């Protein structure tokens, strides 16, 4: 039998923060990114990751993907606030769609010292189907993509190999609702 805690654990005291990926279509105009970032910082929302690129040159549209943390109520408020911004066409929580796809790309440079490390790295790279961008005597550069979770796992696995040096860049998730 497990012992009783000397203090009760307040179950509801921890707000139900959830990771959400928001997809926002905007007019590509000066200041739009500042508006969005300002909205998040001004109202105390989190930005975990952010990605912006023009997706329609003719119509001058950009798609912004924002990964954020918050209770459901907060996420709905973020969406409502985003949709109030003049250049915003739409803001969608991908989690609310019946079908959506998510990807992130990561470039990682791994420096190693010996054969054994090289083998282990190669092994993980193989499992995760990462593409070799460059390989030299003492380092290798991979490109790996997939959900952020998949990349996290790959990096966690790499972490189990002692003595290597890892440098990386991640795009942050991008997502598309179908």
Partner 1 sequence: MNNENEFTGADILLKALKDQEVDTIFGYPGGAVLPIYDAIFGQNFLKHVLVRQEAGAVHAAEGYARSSGKVGVLLVTSGPGVTNVVTGLTDALMDSIPIVCISGQVPSHLIGTDAFQECDTTGITRPCTKHNYLVKDVSKLSETIHEAFKIASSGRPGPVLIDIPKDIQFAKSKYISKKDISFREHRIKAGSKNVDKNFVKELVNHIKKSERPIFYVGGGCLNSGHQASQELIKLVNKTNIPITTTLHGLGCFPGEDKSSLGMLGMHGNYEANLAMNKCDLMINVGARFDDRVTGRLDAFSPDSIKFHIDIDQSSINKNVKVNFHTNTDITITLKEINAFIDSNNIDFGDKDYDNWWGQINEWRKKECLHYEQGDEVIKPQHAISRLYELTKQKDTFVTTEVGQHQMWAAQYYKFSKPNRWITSGGLGTMGFGMPAAVGAQMANPDSLVIDIAGEASFLMNIQEIATAVQYKLPIKIFILNNEYMGMVRQWQELLHGSRYSESYVDALPDFKKLAESFNAVGVRAKNISELDDTINEMISIDRPVIADIWVDKKENCFPMIPSGAAHHEMLLSKYDKENPENQEKGKVLV
By CB under 8 A, the count of residues binding partner 1 is 20
Q: What x/- string results for residues 101 through 130 when contact with partner 1 is judged by CB under 8 A?
A: ------------------------------
The answer to whether the CB of 63 falls within 8 A of the CB of 25 is yes
Binding mask 57-86 for partner 1 (x = CB under 8 A): ----------------x--xx--xx-xxxx
Q: What does the alpha-carbon distance between residue 26 and residue 77 come to, in Å, rounded to a whole number?
A: 18
Using rule CB under 8 A, residue 89 touches partner 1? yes
Neighbours of 119 (CB within 10 A): 11
> Smallest Cα–Cα separation from 172: which of 56, 50, 85?
50
Show contacts with partner 1 in window 30-59 (CB under 8 A): 30-31, 34-35, 38, 42
Nearest CA among 41, 61, 37 for reference residue 50: 37
As measured in angstroms, the least distance from the Cβ of 176 to partner 1 is 20
Identity of the residue, 81 or 145, whose beta carbon is nearer to partner 1 in the bound complex: 81
CB of 172 to partner 1, least distance (A): 23
Closest among 85, 72, 77, 84 to 32, alpha carbons compared:
85
Sign of the C-alpha dihedral, residues 80, 48, 44, 28?
negative
Assess contact for 141 and 107: CB atoms under 8 A. Answer: yes
Spatial distance between the Cα atoms of 115 and 126, rounded to a whole number of angstroms: 16
The answer to whether residue 153 forms part of the interface with partner 1 (CB under 8 A) is: no
In the complex, the smallest distance separating the C-beta of residue 78 from partner 1, rounded to whole angstroms, is 9
Q: Which stretch, 13-21, 88-96, 134-142, 152-160, contacts partner 1 (CB under 8 A)? A: 88-96
Nearer to partner 1, 77 or 147 (CB): 77
Q: Give the interface with partner 1 as residue ranges (CB under 8 A).
A: 27, 30-31, 34-35, 38, 42, 73, 76-77, 80-81, 83-90
């Amino acid at each position: 039998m497990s012992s009783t805690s000397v203090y009760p654990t307040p179950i509801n005291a921890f707000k139900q923060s959830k990771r959400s990926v928001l997809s926002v279509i905007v007019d590509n105009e000066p200041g739009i990114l500042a508006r969005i970032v300002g909205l998040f910082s001004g109202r105390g929302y989190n930005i975990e990751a952010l990605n912006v690129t023009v997706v329609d040159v003719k119509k001058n549209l950009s798609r912004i993907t924002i990964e954020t943390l918050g209770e459901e109520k907060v996420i709905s408020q973020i969406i409502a606030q985003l949709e109030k911004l003049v250049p915003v066409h739409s803001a969608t929580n991908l989690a609310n769609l019946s079908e959506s796809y998510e990807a992130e790309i990561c470039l990682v440079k791994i420096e190693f010292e010996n054969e054994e490390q090289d083998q282990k790295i190669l092994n993980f790279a193989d499992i995760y189907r990462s593409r070799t961008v460059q390989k030299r005597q003492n380092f290798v550069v991979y490109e790996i993509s997939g959900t952020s979770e998949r990349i996290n796992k790959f990096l966690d696995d790499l972490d189990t190999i002692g003595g290597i040096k890892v440098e990386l860049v991640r795009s942050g998730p991008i997502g598309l609702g179908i």
